Structure 1
Amino acid sequence: MTAHAHPVVLGQNQYGKAENRVVKVTRDGDTHRLKDLNVSVSLSGDMAEVHYSGDNANVLPTDTTKNTVFAFAKKHGIESAEAFGLLLARHFVDSRQPIHRARIRIEEYTWERLEGSGHSFARTGRETRTAQITYDGRAPEVLTGLKDLTVMNTTDSEFWGFVKDPYTTLPEDRDRILATSVSSWWRHAWTGGEADTPDWDASYDGARAHLLRAFADTYSLSLQQTLYAMGSRVIENRPEIDEIRFSMPNKHHFRVDLEPFGMANEAADGAVYLAADRPYGLIEATVLRAGAEARIPVDLTNL
């Protein structure tokens, strides 16, 4: 059955192999290095007939994409999540004519070497580094990000002056805990030129450092204000980044009412808090370099 023989037509589609868990060990004598990735491949292109009639002539099997991920990890190594994703994306598009677009999503998990050993590691409690590389045969687009970066200020945060209506019960607070778990993506201005390829690891470390410094340095009257300060600091200090998107839940900490027990529970005296996991406020926004076009999908941080 062809598309023209039926009033229903095919829309956007893609396929691939998701969550390929790749661990690459590089040995330099007795000192070993680890790269621990979760790689998802998604391909699209001239794939109408496989949907309409089951004709697989243009289909590269998802098992082949899985094998390619592991073969490339061995053949090329893993310099960074971004560099590895670029290699894969270009390979799938440039080597298979029916494939017009490849999207590689990567999560990277961090291990630290145990003191006194070259080959023993412990999984860290750090955030998960993320990357998405999209390539359509022309210029690649690289997004870098992170998720589960949990941060807290135990003071220097207030929340007051907000709208009140008959359903408002939240009291104003002049000294509160501000905590969140940051999910963020940032888009690089790089358009694929070999000469000006960013140092992906240095760029990630620099952006992360600015996010944390802005969180610590901002006297916050709202989580929105803190979010904007974090994004602004990255844009102002990292010229290779044009756009940064955040999804930041407000991890509420409420001072417990201890008056029934004859005890005051004031922040200045060292208060006790209830950490509430849900429901939570969810603050999301994009910060852009002036003149840049917003291109990071609004819902990407939820993937």
Structure 2
Amino acid sequence: MTVTKQATVGFIGLGVMGKSMAKNILQAGYNLNVFTRTEAKADELIQLGAVWKDTVADLAADSDVILTIVGYPSDVEEVYFGENGILNNAQPNSFVIDMTTSKPALAVQIYEQAKAKHIYALDAPVSGGDIGARNGKLAIMVGGELQAFDAVLPLFEVMGENIVLQGEAGAGQHTKMCNQIAIATGMIGVCEAITYAQKAGLNPERVLETITTGAAGSWSLSNLAPRMIAGDDQPGFYVKHFIKDMTIALESADEMGLMTPGLELSLSLYKQLAENGYENNGTQALIKLFSK
């Protein structure tokens, strides 16, 4: 059982990352159905050969694999459940893959309801931002059954290059929480380091040339610090979505009785940033709180 390029892939959610992911799938030779709330976001893909579907139900009924990457857990619930949702309209033996960063418990719920309908379900959130999505180099963290994972692996390989089955349903989402927790505190450090360099009268670009190659190196330092220095706040990943992710992570940590002071601090700073009007900017806009 393998998803070949004769399969029809349905893609729901064409935001900053989703559009690039869908474009890579289309250009790899798969048949592509698309749906998103704002139809204009699909124009480029339609011109390249994607087929627009008027509803989630229509897309689900006419696709062998259905991928979703929407905003919030409430959006996931909306597209998966109910009379017009994916699970009530997808064909038996099809695959549903939620790539939204969402609640682990919701991933388990989707898996259980899908299994009852003989549909294969995986949770597969991603990391790598707009750059990783464009270049097909995302990290993809997967939860679900090995059989389903092996079947869709060729499709995952179109979108990413670090693709790991982490465990049963929900494990992909738990892994993404680990990812976001690590990023959360790291972003504070990146902002402080850049601001320190500027206040000390150093050339921050030159500082980056040195510290990105040493023990301080990180994806955020290499990819987001240059945007901070350039004053580029365009979203590779929205502040509002990072707040959503950190909130889910904090709730999950609390349920497990874990102490996460770094996560709590980062969440409080990003909430402050959003209150200042930057919720639709990229996460690198955090430096504005440090450089006043």
Would you call these one fold, judging by a TM-score over 0.5? Answer: no
When normalised by structure 2's length, the TM-score is: 0.27
TM-score of the pair, normalised by structure 1:
0.27
Instruction: Look at both structures and tell me which one has the larger radius of gyration over its CA atoms.
Output: 1
Query: Which of 1 and 2 has higher RCO (CA within 8 Å, sep 6+)?
Result: 2
| Structure with more of its chain in strand, by fraction | 1
Greater fraction of residues in helix? 2
